[in-house]
Structure 1
Amino acid sequence: METEPPMRTVWRGAVTFVGMVVLPIRLVSATETHRGRFREVHSRDGGRIRHKRVCEVEGTQEEIPHEDVGRAVELPDGRLVPITDEELERLPLPTRHVAEVLGFVPGSEIDPISYDGAYYAAPDGPAADRPYVLLTEALAGTGCVGICKIALRQRERLAVLRPRRGVIVLQTLLWADEVREPGDLGPSTPFTDREMELAEMLLSELTGIEMQQLKEGYGYGHALEQLVAAKTVGSEVPELPTPQPAAELLAALEESVQATRRSRK
Protein backbone atom coordinates (compact mmCIF):
# COMPACT_ATOMS: atom_id res chain seq x y z
CA MET A 1 0.00 0.00 0.00
CA GLU A 2 1.43 3.33 -1.07
CA THR A 3 1.82 6.02 1.57
CA GLU A 4 2.03 9.73 0.92
CA PRO A 5 5.51 11.23 1.38
CA PRO A 6 5.91 13.34 4.53
CA MET A 7 5.11 17.03 4.12
CA ARG A 8 8.33 19.04 3.90
CA THR A 9 8.57 22.29 5.84
CA VAL A 10 9.23 25.16 3.40
CA TRP A 11 9.17 28.04 5.92
CA ARG A 12 9.49 28.31 9.67
CA GLY A 13 8.75 31.44 11.65
CA ALA A 14 5.98 33.16 13.55
CA VAL A 15 2.74 35.01 12.96
CA THR A 16 2.57 38.16 15.08
CA PHE A 17 -0.23 40.54 15.95
CA VAL A 18 0.91 44.12 16.62
CA GLY A 19 4.18 42.62 17.83
CA MET A 20 2.52 41.30 21.00
CA VAL A 21 0.83 37.95 20.36
CA VAL A 22 3.28 35.52 18.76
CA LEU A 23 2.20 32.27 17.09
CA PRO A 24 5.11 30.03 15.95
CA ILE A 25 4.22 28.17 12.74
CA ARG A 26 5.76 26.13 9.97
CA LEU A 27 4.48 26.02 6.39
CA VAL A 28 4.08 23.00 4.13
CA SER A 29 2.77 22.98 0.55
CA ALA A 30 -0.98 22.41 0.49
CA THR A 31 -1.32 21.42 -3.17
CA GLU A 32 0.37 19.33 -5.84
CA THR A 33 -0.02 19.39 -9.60
CA HIS A 34 -0.30 16.30 -11.83
CA ARG A 35 0.99 16.91 -15.35
CA GLY A 36 2.22 14.83 -18.24
CA ARG A 37 6.01 15.07 -18.49
CA PHE A 38 7.59 15.88 -21.82
CA ARG A 39 11.18 15.62 -23.03
CA GLU A 40 12.78 18.13 -25.37
CA VAL A 41 13.66 16.70 -28.79
CA HIS A 42 14.99 18.00 -32.09
CA SER A 43 11.84 18.50 -34.17
CA ARG A 44 13.73 17.64 -37.38
CA ASP A 45 14.90 14.14 -36.42
CA GLY A 46 13.44 13.41 -32.99
CA GLY A 47 16.82 13.31 -31.29
CA ARG A 48 16.92 13.97 -27.53
CA ILE A 49 18.10 17.48 -26.62
CA ARG A 50 20.42 17.72 -23.61
CA HIS A 51 21.11 20.90 -21.66
CA LYS A 52 24.61 21.18 -20.27
CA ARG A 53 25.72 23.54 -17.52
CA VAL A 54 28.91 25.12 -18.85
CA CYS A 55 30.95 28.10 -17.66
CA GLU A 56 31.35 31.06 -20.04
CA VAL A 57 34.59 32.13 -18.33
CA GLU A 58 36.30 28.75 -18.72
CA GLY A 59 35.10 28.55 -22.31
CA THR A 60 34.99 24.76 -22.32
CA GLN A 61 32.14 22.29 -22.84
CA GLU A 62 32.88 20.53 -19.56
CA GLU A 63 29.66 20.32 -17.57
CA ILE A 64 29.60 22.01 -14.17
CA PRO A 65 28.43 19.74 -11.29
CA HIS A 66 25.11 20.78 -9.81
CA GLU A 67 26.69 21.38 -6.39
CA ASP A 68 29.00 23.99 -7.97
CA VAL A 69 26.14 26.01 -9.49
CA GLY A 70 25.31 29.20 -7.60
CA ARG A 71 23.15 32.23 -8.29
CA ALA A 72 23.83 35.88 -9.05
CA VAL A 73 22.06 39.16 -9.67
CA GLU A 74 22.74 40.78 -13.07
CA LEU A 75 23.40 44.52 -13.02
CA PRO A 76 22.21 46.84 -15.83
CA ASP A 77 25.72 46.86 -17.31
CA GLY A 78 25.78 43.06 -17.53
CA ARG A 79 28.02 42.38 -14.54
CA LEU A 80 27.02 39.50 -12.26
CA VAL A 81 27.09 39.80 -8.48
CA PRO A 82 27.19 36.30 -6.90
CA ILE A 83 24.79 35.79 -3.97
CA THR A 84 25.14 32.80 -1.62
CA ASP A 85 22.37 31.01 0.25
CA GLU A 86 23.94 32.16 3.52
CA GLU A 87 23.76 35.80 2.38
CA LEU A 88 20.10 35.38 1.44
CA GLU A 89 19.42 33.95 4.90
CA ARG A 90 20.96 37.10 6.43
CA LEU A 91 18.89 39.55 4.39
CA PRO A 92 17.68 42.37 6.68
CA LEU A 93 14.05 41.66 5.79
CA PRO A 94 11.55 41.82 8.69
CA THR A 95 9.24 39.31 6.98
CA ARG A 96 11.96 36.66 6.52
CA HIS A 97 10.89 34.73 9.62
CA VAL A 98 7.97 36.83 10.83
CA ALA A 99 4.57 37.22 9.18
CA GLU A 100 2.99 40.23 10.86
CA VAL A 101 -0.77 40.41 10.53
CA LEU A 102 -1.62 43.87 9.17
CA GLY A 103 -5.35 43.51 9.77
CA PHE A 104 -8.47 41.49 9.04
CA VAL A 105 -11.07 41.80 6.27
CA PRO A 106 -14.13 39.74 5.26
CA GLY A 107 -13.01 36.84 3.10
CA SER A 108 -15.51 37.90 0.43
CA GLU A 109 -13.50 41.09 -0.17
CA ILE A 110 -10.56 39.15 -1.62
CA ASP A 111 -10.87 38.79 -5.38
CA PRO A 112 -10.17 35.10 -6.20
CA ILE A 113 -8.01 36.17 -9.16
CA SER A 114 -5.43 37.38 -6.62
CA TYR A 115 -4.96 33.96 -4.99
CA ASP A 116 -1.62 32.28 -5.65
CA GLY A 117 0.19 29.47 -3.80
CA ALA A 118 -1.42 27.71 -0.83
CA TYR A 119 0.38 26.40 2.26
CA TYR A 120 -0.85 24.71 5.39
CA ALA A 121 0.33 26.55 8.49
CA ALA A 122 0.93 24.11 11.35
CA PRO A 123 1.66 25.09 14.96
CA ASP A 124 5.38 24.82 15.62
CA GLY A 125 5.70 23.45 19.14
CA PRO A 126 3.27 22.65 21.98
CA ALA A 127 3.19 26.27 23.17
CA ALA A 128 1.61 27.28 19.85
CA ASP A 129 -1.33 24.84 20.04
CA ARG A 130 -3.71 26.96 22.11
CA PRO A 131 -3.32 30.28 20.23
CA TYR A 132 -3.43 28.31 16.96
CA VAL A 133 -6.80 26.73 17.78
CA LEU A 134 -8.11 30.07 19.06
CA LEU A 135 -7.13 31.90 15.85
CA THR A 136 -8.57 29.13 13.65
CA GLU A 137 -11.93 29.21 15.43
CA ALA A 138 -12.03 33.03 15.50
CA LEU A 139 -11.44 33.22 11.74
CA ALA A 140 -14.09 30.56 11.08
CA GLY A 141 -16.61 32.25 13.35
CA THR A 142 -16.19 35.76 11.94
CA GLY A 143 -15.74 34.88 8.27
CA CYS A 144 -12.65 37.10 8.22
CA VAL A 145 -9.17 36.45 6.87
CA GLY A 146 -5.92 37.89 8.14
CA ILE A 147 -3.76 39.96 5.79
CA CYS A 148 0.00 39.67 6.29
CA LYS A 149 3.34 40.05 4.56
CA ILE A 150 5.80 37.17 4.38
CA ALA A 151 9.15 36.55 2.68
CA LEU A 152 8.78 33.21 0.90
CA ARG A 153 10.96 31.66 -1.81
CA GLN A 154 13.21 34.73 -2.12
CA ARG A 155 10.24 37.10 -2.53
CA GLU A 156 8.24 39.26 -0.16
CA ARG A 157 4.63 38.32 -0.65
CA LEU A 158 1.23 39.48 0.48
CA ALA A 159 -0.77 36.63 1.99
CA VAL A 160 -4.02 35.76 3.71
CA LEU A 161 -4.58 33.51 6.71
CA ARG A 162 -7.85 31.61 6.39
CA PRO A 163 -9.36 28.54 8.07
CA ARG A 164 -9.95 25.23 6.30
CA ARG A 165 -11.19 22.13 8.10
CA GLY A 166 -9.68 23.10 11.41
CA VAL A 167 -6.35 24.13 9.89
CA ILE A 168 -5.01 27.57 8.98
CA VAL A 169 -4.12 28.04 5.33
CA LEU A 170 -1.62 30.71 4.40
CA GLN A 171 -2.33 31.64 0.80
CA THR A 172 -0.06 34.04 -1.02
CA LEU A 173 -1.63 36.79 -3.08
CA LEU A 174 -0.59 38.56 -6.24
CA TRP A 175 0.25 42.22 -5.72
CA ALA A 176 -2.28 44.64 -7.21
CA ASP A 177 0.07 45.56 -10.09
CA GLU A 178 0.45 41.86 -11.00
CA VAL A 179 -3.25 41.49 -11.86
CA ARG A 180 -4.14 42.65 -15.36
CA GLU A 181 -7.42 44.44 -16.06
CA PRO A 182 -9.68 42.81 -18.68
CA GLY A 183 -10.15 46.00 -20.69
CA ASP A 184 -12.82 45.65 -23.38
CA LEU A 185 -12.71 41.82 -23.60
CA GLY A 186 -16.33 41.54 -22.40
CA PRO A 187 -18.95 42.31 -25.09
CA SER A 188 -22.02 44.46 -24.39
CA THR A 189 -24.49 42.57 -26.60
CA PRO A 190 -28.15 42.99 -25.49
CA PHE A 191 -30.31 40.02 -24.43
CA THR A 192 -34.02 39.47 -23.82
CA ASP A 193 -35.81 38.98 -20.50
CA ARG A 194 -36.76 35.43 -21.54
CA GLU A 195 -33.13 34.57 -22.30
CA MET A 196 -32.11 35.83 -18.85
CA GLU A 197 -34.92 33.86 -17.23
CA LEU A 198 -33.82 30.65 -18.96
CA ALA A 199 -30.15 31.29 -18.15
CA GLU A 200 -30.96 31.67 -14.45
CA MET A 201 -33.16 28.57 -14.64
CA LEU A 202 -30.30 26.59 -16.17
CA LEU A 203 -27.95 27.73 -13.39
CA SER A 204 -30.55 26.69 -10.83
CA GLU A 205 -30.93 23.23 -12.40
CA LEU A 206 -27.16 22.73 -12.40
CA THR A 207 -26.71 23.93 -8.80
CA GLY A 208 -25.23 21.36 -6.45
CA ILE A 209 -21.95 19.63 -7.28
CA GLU A 210 -19.96 17.37 -4.98
CA MET A 211 -16.56 18.96 -5.50
CA GLN A 212 -14.80 16.22 -3.52
CA GLN A 213 -16.05 13.63 -6.01
CA LEU A 214 -14.48 15.40 -8.99
CA LYS A 215 -11.18 13.90 -10.15
CA GLU A 216 -8.97 14.33 -13.18
CA GLY A 217 -9.91 10.83 -14.34
CA TYR A 218 -9.79 10.45 -18.11
CA GLY A 219 -8.65 13.97 -18.77
CA TYR A 220 -5.45 15.33 -20.23
CA GLY A 221 -3.29 12.49 -18.94
CA HIS A 222 -5.48 9.79 -20.48
CA ALA A 223 -5.71 11.65 -23.80
CA LEU A 224 -1.92 11.97 -23.84
CA GLU A 225 -1.55 8.22 -23.22
CA GLN A 226 -3.88 7.55 -26.17
CA LEU A 227 -1.79 9.80 -28.41
CA VAL A 228 1.49 8.14 -27.38
CA ALA A 229 0.03 4.65 -27.87
CA ALA A 230 -1.32 5.56 -31.32
CA LYS A 231 1.96 7.10 -32.49
CA THR A 232 3.87 4.06 -31.22
CA VAL A 233 1.97 1.78 -33.60
CA GLY A 234 1.65 4.35 -36.38
CA SER A 235 -2.09 4.97 -36.10
CA GLU A 236 -4.13 8.13 -35.64
CA VAL A 237 -6.15 9.22 -32.61
CA PRO A 238 -9.70 10.12 -33.68
CA GLU A 239 -10.50 13.78 -33.12
CA LEU A 240 -13.47 14.73 -30.99
CA PRO A 241 -16.06 17.04 -32.56
CA THR A 242 -15.72 20.70 -31.64
CA PRO A 243 -18.85 22.15 -30.00
CA GLN A 244 -20.44 24.81 -32.18
CA PRO A 245 -22.45 27.80 -30.92
CA ALA A 246 -26.18 27.40 -31.40
CA ALA A 247 -27.75 29.44 -34.18
CA GLU A 248 -30.72 30.26 -31.92
CA LEU A 249 -29.73 31.05 -28.31
CA LEU A 250 -33.26 30.93 -26.91
CA ALA A 251 -33.94 27.45 -28.30
CA ALA A 252 -30.55 26.22 -27.05
CA LEU A 253 -31.27 27.49 -23.54
CA GLU A 254 -34.67 25.82 -23.45
CA GLU A 255 -33.20 22.51 -24.67
CA SER A 256 -30.38 22.71 -22.10
CA VAL A 257 -32.85 23.21 -19.25
CA GLN A 258 -34.98 20.28 -20.41
CA ALA A 259 -31.94 18.02 -20.94
CA THR A 260 -30.66 18.81 -17.44
CA ARG A 261 -34.01 18.00 -15.89
CA ARG A 262 -34.19 14.68 -17.79
CA SER A 263 -30.69 13.69 -16.69
CA ARG A 264 -31.56 14.19 -13.02
CA LYS A 265 -34.72 12.07 -13.02
Structure 2
Amino acid sequence: MRAIWKGAVAFGLVNVPVRLYAATGEHEVTLHQVHAADGGRIRYRKVCSVDGEPVTMDEISKGYETADGELVVLTDEDFARLPLATEREIEVLEFVPAEQVDPILLGKTYYLEPDKTAAKPYALLRGALEEADRMAVVKVALRQRETMAVLRVRGKVICLQTLLWPDEVRAADFPVLDADVTVKPAELAMAQSLVDSLASDFDPSQFEDRYEAALTQLIEAKVSSGDTRSLPQPAAPEGGEGGEVVDLLAALQRSVEKARSARGETPTDDGDDAAPAKRATKPRTRKKPADDDAPEPTRKKAKAKAS
Protein backbone atom coordinates (compact mmCIF):
# COMPACT_ATOMS: atom_id res chain seq x y z
CA MET A 1 0.00 0.00 0.00
CA ARG A 2 1.01 3.58 -0.56
CA ALA A 3 0.71 6.19 2.18
CA ILE A 4 -1.56 9.09 1.23
CA TRP A 5 -0.81 11.30 4.25
CA LYS A 6 1.91 11.68 6.84
CA GLY A 7 1.60 13.46 10.17
CA ALA A 8 1.07 12.74 13.85
CA VAL A 9 -1.65 11.92 16.36
CA ALA A 10 -1.58 14.38 19.24
CA PHE A 11 -3.37 13.53 22.49
CA GLY A 12 -2.32 15.40 25.60
CA LEU A 13 1.44 15.69 25.66
CA VAL A 14 1.89 12.49 23.62
CA ASN A 15 2.71 12.80 19.93
CA VAL A 16 2.60 9.71 17.69
CA PRO A 17 4.06 10.08 14.17
CA VAL A 18 1.94 8.06 11.74
CA ARG A 19 1.27 7.41 8.05
CA LEU A 20 -2.23 7.13 6.64
CA TYR A 21 -3.33 4.38 4.24
CA ALA A 22 -6.69 3.75 2.61
CA ALA A 23 -8.14 0.72 4.41
CA THR A 24 -10.69 -0.17 1.74
CA GLY A 25 -10.74 -0.39 -2.03
CA GLU A 26 -13.84 -1.19 -4.02
CA HIS A 27 -13.24 -3.45 -7.00
CA GLU A 28 -15.38 -4.16 -10.00
CA VAL A 29 -15.03 -5.27 -13.59
CA THR A 30 -13.87 -2.21 -15.53
CA LEU A 31 -16.11 -1.45 -18.50
CA HIS A 32 -15.80 1.40 -21.01
CA GLN A 33 -18.36 3.13 -23.16
CA VAL A 34 -17.66 2.29 -26.82
CA HIS A 35 -19.23 2.98 -30.19
CA ALA A 36 -21.17 -0.19 -31.03
CA ALA A 37 -20.47 0.18 -34.76
CA ASP A 38 -16.67 0.22 -34.65
CA GLY A 39 -15.67 -0.24 -31.01
CA GLY A 40 -14.16 3.23 -30.65
CA ARG A 41 -13.92 4.62 -27.11
CA ILE A 42 -16.35 7.37 -26.20
CA ARG A 43 -14.37 10.33 -24.87
CA TYR A 44 -15.48 13.30 -22.84
CA ARG A 45 -13.91 16.72 -23.16
CA LYS A 46 -14.11 19.75 -20.89
CA VAL A 47 -15.77 22.39 -23.07
CA CYS A 48 -16.78 25.94 -22.20
CA SER A 49 -20.56 26.40 -22.46
CA VAL A 50 -20.13 29.99 -23.69
CA ASP A 51 -17.70 29.74 -26.60
CA GLY A 52 -17.78 25.96 -27.15
CA GLU A 53 -13.99 25.74 -27.00
CA PRO A 54 -12.08 22.94 -25.15
CA VAL A 55 -10.58 24.09 -21.83
CA THR A 56 -7.36 22.87 -20.22
CA MET A 57 -7.00 22.26 -16.48
CA ASP A 58 -4.90 25.38 -15.90
CA GLU A 59 -7.78 27.47 -17.29
CA ILE A 60 -10.36 26.06 -14.87
CA SER A 61 -11.38 27.79 -11.63
CA LYS A 62 -14.10 27.01 -9.12
CA GLY A 63 -17.25 29.08 -9.01
CA TYR A 64 -20.32 29.55 -6.83
CA GLU A 65 -23.68 30.60 -8.26
CA THR A 66 -25.75 32.80 -5.98
CA ALA A 67 -29.53 32.54 -5.60
CA ASP A 68 -30.04 35.64 -7.77
CA GLY A 69 -27.96 34.26 -10.64
CA GLU A 70 -24.62 35.93 -9.95
CA LEU A 71 -21.34 34.03 -10.23
CA VAL A 72 -18.50 34.14 -7.70
CA VAL A 73 -15.17 32.85 -9.08
CA LEU A 74 -12.72 31.50 -6.47
CA THR A 75 -8.99 31.33 -7.17
CA ASP A 76 -6.21 29.27 -5.59
CA GLU A 77 -5.17 32.37 -3.66
CA ASP A 78 -8.68 32.64 -2.18
CA PHE A 79 -8.55 29.06 -0.94
CA ALA A 80 -5.06 29.55 0.50
CA ARG A 81 -6.42 32.27 2.81
CA LEU A 82 -9.15 30.07 4.29
CA PRO A 83 -8.67 28.81 7.88
CA LEU A 84 -7.77 25.14 7.96
CA ALA A 85 -6.54 22.83 10.69
CA THR A 86 -2.89 21.92 10.39
CA GLU A 87 -2.43 19.42 7.61
CA ARG A 88 0.06 17.34 9.59
CA GLU A 89 -1.72 16.76 12.89
CA ILE A 90 -4.60 14.60 14.05
CA GLU A 91 -5.85 16.40 17.14
CA VAL A 92 -7.69 14.28 19.72
CA LEU A 93 -10.60 16.32 21.11
CA GLU A 94 -12.31 13.79 23.40
CA PHE A 95 -12.93 10.11 24.05
CA VAL A 96 -16.55 8.92 23.72
CA PRO A 97 -18.35 5.55 24.22
CA ALA A 98 -18.33 3.59 20.96
CA GLU A 99 -22.10 3.00 21.04
CA GLN A 100 -22.75 6.75 20.97
CA VAL A 101 -21.29 7.12 17.48
CA ASP A 102 -24.21 6.63 15.07
CA PRO A 103 -23.07 4.38 12.18
CA ILE A 104 -24.79 6.71 9.72
CA LEU A 105 -22.08 9.27 10.47
CA LEU A 106 -19.24 6.91 9.60
CA GLY A 107 -17.42 7.52 6.33
CA LYS A 108 -14.19 6.31 4.75
CA THR A 109 -11.76 4.22 6.79
CA TYR A 110 -7.96 4.57 6.90
CA TYR A 111 -5.20 2.63 8.64
CA LEU A 112 -2.68 4.45 10.81
CA GLU A 113 0.84 3.02 10.66
CA PRO A 114 3.27 4.29 13.29
CA ASP A 115 6.86 5.24 12.61
CA LYS A 116 9.39 2.74 13.94
CA THR A 117 10.34 5.18 16.68
CA ALA A 118 6.68 5.60 17.71
CA ALA A 119 5.77 1.95 18.29
CA LYS A 120 5.46 2.38 22.08
CA PRO A 121 3.21 5.49 22.18
CA TYR A 122 1.14 3.93 19.40
CA ALA A 123 0.64 0.79 21.51
CA LEU A 124 -0.18 3.01 24.49
CA LEU A 125 -2.96 4.80 22.61
CA ARG A 126 -4.30 1.53 21.20
CA GLY A 127 -4.39 -0.08 24.65
CA ALA A 128 -6.11 2.93 26.20
CA LEU A 129 -8.86 2.84 23.57
CA GLU A 130 -9.39 -0.90 24.06
CA GLU A 131 -9.48 -0.73 27.85
CA ALA A 132 -11.94 2.15 27.90
CA ASP A 133 -14.04 0.76 25.04
CA ARG A 134 -14.15 4.25 23.62
CA MET A 135 -13.41 6.05 20.39
CA ALA A 136 -11.24 9.15 20.11
CA VAL A 137 -12.99 12.04 18.38
CA VAL A 138 -10.45 13.98 16.27
CA LYS A 139 -10.16 16.73 13.70
CA VAL A 140 -7.97 16.30 10.64
CA ALA A 141 -7.41 18.05 7.32
CA LEU A 142 -7.48 15.69 4.34
CA ARG A 143 -7.30 16.86 0.73
CA GLN A 144 -7.65 20.53 1.70
CA ARG A 145 -10.82 19.87 3.70
CA GLU A 146 -11.26 19.79 7.45
CA THR A 147 -13.24 16.83 8.70
CA MET A 148 -14.23 15.15 11.92
CA ALA A 149 -13.16 11.56 12.47
CA VAL A 150 -12.84 8.89 15.12
CA LEU A 151 -9.94 6.65 16.06
CA ARG A 152 -10.88 3.06 16.83
CA VAL A 153 -9.02 -0.20 17.20
CA ARG A 154 -9.29 -3.06 14.72
CA GLY A 155 -7.06 -5.94 15.73
CA LYS A 156 -3.58 -4.50 16.15
CA VAL A 157 -4.10 -1.39 14.05
CA ILE A 158 -5.67 1.95 14.89
CA CYS A 159 -8.19 3.04 12.28
CA LEU A 160 -9.16 6.57 11.45
CA GLN A 161 -12.73 6.74 10.20
CA THR A 162 -14.07 10.02 8.87
CA LEU A 163 -17.42 11.35 10.08
CA LEU A 164 -20.08 13.37 8.35
CA TRP A 165 -20.91 16.73 9.85
CA PRO A 166 -24.33 16.68 11.58
CA ASP A 167 -25.93 18.92 8.94
CA GLU A 168 -24.86 16.46 6.24
CA VAL A 169 -27.25 13.78 7.55
CA ARG A 170 -30.72 14.16 6.09
CA ALA A 171 -33.81 13.82 8.25
CA ALA A 172 -36.08 10.85 7.59
CA ASP A 173 -39.21 12.94 7.10
CA PHE A 174 -41.81 10.35 6.10
CA PRO A 175 -45.36 11.10 7.37
CA VAL A 176 -46.39 7.46 6.95
CA LEU A 177 -44.12 6.57 9.89
CA ASP A 178 -46.32 8.67 12.20
CA ALA A 179 -49.44 6.67 11.39
CA ASP A 180 -50.89 4.44 14.11
CA VAL A 181 -50.14 0.82 13.28
CA THR A 182 -51.36 -2.05 15.43
CA VAL A 183 -49.13 -5.13 15.63
CA LYS A 184 -50.70 -8.19 17.20
CA PRO A 185 -48.66 -10.13 19.77
CA ALA A 186 -48.91 -13.30 17.63
CA GLU A 187 -47.50 -11.45 14.61
CA LEU A 188 -44.64 -10.07 16.67
CA ALA A 189 -43.89 -13.51 18.07
CA MET A 190 -43.81 -15.01 14.56
CA ALA A 191 -41.44 -12.29 13.37
CA GLN A 192 -39.20 -12.93 16.37
CA SER A 193 -39.24 -16.64 15.57
CA LEU A 194 -38.05 -15.88 12.04
CA VAL A 195 -35.25 -13.71 13.43
CA ASP A 196 -34.16 -16.52 15.76
CA SER A 197 -34.16 -19.06 12.91
CA LEU A 198 -31.79 -16.88 10.87
CA ALA A 199 -29.63 -15.75 13.79
CA SER A 200 -25.90 -16.20 13.17
CA ASP A 201 -22.49 -14.64 13.74
CA PHE A 202 -21.59 -12.23 10.99
CA ASP A 203 -18.91 -13.51 8.63
CA PRO A 204 -18.64 -11.34 5.50
CA SER A 205 -16.39 -13.90 3.78
CA GLN A 206 -19.45 -16.12 3.33
CA PHE A 207 -20.95 -13.65 0.88
CA GLU A 208 -19.94 -12.82 -2.68
CA ASP A 209 -20.85 -10.40 -5.40
CA ARG A 210 -22.85 -12.71 -7.67
CA TYR A 211 -23.33 -10.04 -10.31
CA GLU A 212 -19.59 -9.43 -10.68
CA ALA A 213 -18.91 -13.18 -10.77
CA ALA A 214 -21.52 -13.67 -13.50
CA LEU A 215 -20.17 -10.71 -15.49
CA THR A 216 -16.64 -12.12 -15.28
CA GLN A 217 -17.86 -15.51 -16.51
CA LEU A 218 -19.71 -13.85 -19.38
CA ILE A 219 -16.57 -11.98 -20.49
CA GLU A 220 -14.39 -15.09 -20.20
CA ALA A 221 -16.91 -17.10 -22.26
CA LYS A 222 -16.84 -14.50 -25.05
CA VAL A 223 -13.03 -14.52 -25.05
CA SER A 224 -12.91 -18.33 -25.16
CA SER A 225 -15.36 -18.50 -28.07
CA GLY A 226 -13.45 -15.88 -30.05
CA ASP A 227 -16.26 -13.36 -29.80
CA THR A 228 -13.82 -10.44 -29.72
CA ARG A 229 -12.59 -7.79 -32.09
CA SER A 230 -9.33 -5.96 -32.50
CA LEU A 231 -8.98 -2.66 -30.72
CA PRO A 232 -9.66 0.11 -33.26
CA GLN A 233 -6.87 2.55 -33.97
CA PRO A 234 -8.15 6.11 -33.50
CA ALA A 235 -7.71 8.47 -36.41
CA ALA A 236 -5.10 11.19 -36.07
CA PRO A 237 -6.84 14.23 -34.55
CA GLU A 238 -6.97 17.50 -36.40
CA GLY A 239 -3.92 19.50 -35.54
CA GLY A 240 -2.09 16.34 -34.47
CA GLU A 241 1.11 14.92 -35.90
CA GLY A 242 -0.54 13.60 -39.08
CA GLY A 243 -2.42 16.84 -39.61
CA GLU A 244 0.75 18.86 -39.26
CA VAL A 245 2.42 16.92 -42.08
CA VAL A 246 -0.57 17.44 -44.41
CA ASP A 247 -0.79 21.12 -43.53
CA LEU A 248 2.95 21.56 -44.10
CA LEU A 249 2.80 19.99 -47.56
CA ALA A 250 -0.21 22.08 -48.46
CA ALA A 251 1.54 25.24 -47.28
CA LEU A 252 4.65 24.38 -49.32
CA GLN A 253 2.56 23.73 -52.39
CA ARG A 254 0.75 27.05 -52.03
CA SER A 255 4.11 28.79 -51.60
CA VAL A 256 5.43 27.22 -54.83
CA GLU A 257 2.30 28.19 -56.74
CA LYS A 258 2.48 31.75 -55.42
CA ALA A 259 6.12 32.06 -56.45
CA ARG A 260 5.36 30.72 -59.96
CA SER A 261 2.46 33.10 -60.34
CA ALA A 262 4.65 36.05 -59.34
CA ARG A 263 7.15 35.11 -62.09
CA GLY A 264 4.50 34.37 -64.68
CA GLU A 265 5.41 30.67 -64.78
CA THR A 266 3.17 27.63 -65.23
CA PRO A 267 3.27 24.22 -63.50
CA THR A 268 5.36 21.48 -65.05
CA ASP A 269 3.71 19.11 -67.49
CA ASP A 270 4.24 16.04 -65.27
CA GLY A 271 1.77 17.43 -62.70
CA ASP A 272 4.29 17.43 -59.88
CA ASP A 273 3.41 20.83 -58.45
CA ALA A 274 5.70 20.35 -55.50
CA ALA A 275 8.78 20.04 -57.74
CA PRO A 276 10.74 23.20 -58.49
CA ALA A 277 9.62 24.79 -61.74
CA LYS A 278 12.03 25.29 -64.60
CA ARG A 279 12.47 28.88 -65.62
CA ALA A 280 10.94 29.64 -69.02
CA THR A 281 13.69 30.62 -71.44
CA LYS A 282 13.86 32.23 -74.88
CA PRO A 283 16.31 31.30 -77.68
CA ARG A 284 19.37 33.39 -77.31
CA THR A 285 21.29 34.83 -80.31
CA ARG A 286 25.02 35.00 -80.00
CA LYS A 287 26.21 38.57 -80.11
CA LYS A 288 29.33 39.16 -82.13
CA PRO A 289 31.86 40.76 -79.88
CA ALA A 290 33.28 44.15 -80.78
CA ASP A 291 36.94 44.49 -81.47
CA ASP A 292 37.64 45.94 -78.06
CA ASP A 293 35.66 43.20 -76.39
CA ALA A 294 37.10 40.35 -78.44
CA PRO A 295 39.58 37.89 -76.98
CA GLU A 296 43.31 38.66 -77.37
CA PRO A 297 43.95 36.34 -80.43
CA THR A 298 41.06 37.90 -82.32
CA ARG A 299 42.36 41.45 -81.78
CA LYS A 300 45.82 40.43 -83.05
CA LYS A 301 44.35 39.00 -86.28
CA ALA A 302 42.33 42.17 -86.84
CA LYS A 303 45.43 44.44 -86.49
CA ALA A 304 47.47 42.28 -88.91
CA LYS A 305 44.78 42.43 -91.60
CA ALA A 306 44.52 46.19 -91.26
CA SER A 307 48.23 46.59 -91.87
Settle same-fold status: TM greater than 0.5.
Answer: yes
Contact 2:32–2:41 under 8 Å retained in 1: yes
Q: CA deviation at 1:93?
A: 2.2
User: Which residue of structure 2 aligns with residue 74 of structure 1?
Assistant: 63
Q: CA deviation at 1:220?
A: 1.9
Contact 1:42–1:48 under 8 Å retained in 2: yes
Q: 2:92 aligned with 1:101, yes or no?
A: yes
Q: 2:182 aligned with 1:193, yes or no?
A: no
Q: 2:139 aligned with 1:146, yes or no?
A: no
1:206-229 CA-to-partner distances (Å, cap 9, x unmatched) read 222351532425x12123346668
1:107-132 CA-to-partner distances (Å, cap 9, x unmatched) read 01011111100000111241x11111
- Report the TM-score, using the length of structure 1 for normalisation: 0.68
Whole-angstrom distance in 1 between the partners of 2:6 and 2:81: 15
User: Which residue of structure 2 aligns with residue 213 of structure 1?
Assistant: 205
The structure whose Rg is larger is 2
- Report the TM-score, using the length of structure 2 for normalisation: 0.60
Amino acid at match of 1:139: L
Number of aligned pairs?
Answer: 218
Q: 2:19 aligned with 1:29, yes or no?
A: no
**Percent identical residues:** 40
1:57-89 CA-to-partner distances (Å, cap 9, x unmatched) read 99755x85xxx65763325444644428xx978
1:243-263 CA-to-partner distances (Å, cap 9, x unmatched) read xxxxxxxxxxxxxxxxxxxxx
Unaligned runs of 5+ in 1: 1-6, 234-265
User: Which residue of structure 2 aligns with residue 167 of structure 1?
Assistant: 157
1:138-187 CA-to-partner distances (Å, cap 9, x unmatched) read 11121100001111122111100000001100000111111112122647
Picking from 3, 27, 43, the partner of 1:9 is 3
Whole-angstrom distance in 1 between the partners of 2:75 and 2:37: 38
Contact 1:15–1:22 under 8 Å retained in 2: yes
Indicate the structure whose relative CO is greater, using CA pairs within 8 Å and at least 6 residues apart: 1
Whole-angstrom distance in 1 between the partners of 2:208 and 2:182: 37
Contact 1:24–1:125 under 8 Å retained in 2: no
1:42-61 CA-to-partner distances (Å, cap 9, x unmatched) read 69998642113567899755
Picking from 156, 167, 175, the partner of 1:177 is 167
Picking from 41, 44, 69, the partner of 1:51 is 44
Whole-angstrom distance in 1 between the partners of 2:180 and 2:36: 44
Q: 2:171 aligned with 1:203, yes or no?
A: no
Give the direction of change, closer, same or farther, for the CA distance of 1:33–1:183 in structure 2 (3 Å limit). Answer: same
Amino acid at match of 1:154: Q
Moved more, 162-171 or 187-196: 187-196
Give the direction of change, closer, same or farther, for the CA distance of 1:90–1:170 in structure 2 (3 Å limit). Answer: farther
Give the direction of change, closer, same or farther, for the CA distance of 1:188–1:16 in structure 2 (3 Å limit). Answer: farther
> Secondary structure of the equivalent of 1:180?
coil
Contact 2:7–2:89 under 8 Å retained in 1: yes
Contact 2:5–2:21 under 8 Å retained in 1: yes
Contact 1:148–1:158 under 8 Å retained in 2: yes
Whole-angstrom distance in 2 between the partners of 1:178 and 1:79: 23
Unaligned runs of 5+ in 2: 226-307
Amino acid at match of 2:96: V
Whole-angstrom distance in 1 between the partners of 2:80 and 2:197: 54
Amino acid at match of 1:28: Y
Whole-angstrom distance in 2 between the partners of 1:183 and 1:59: 42
Whole-angstrom distance in 2 between the partners of 1:80 and 1:71: 10
Give the direction of change, closer, same or farther, for the CA distance of 1:13–1:176 in structure 2 (3 Å limit). Answer: same
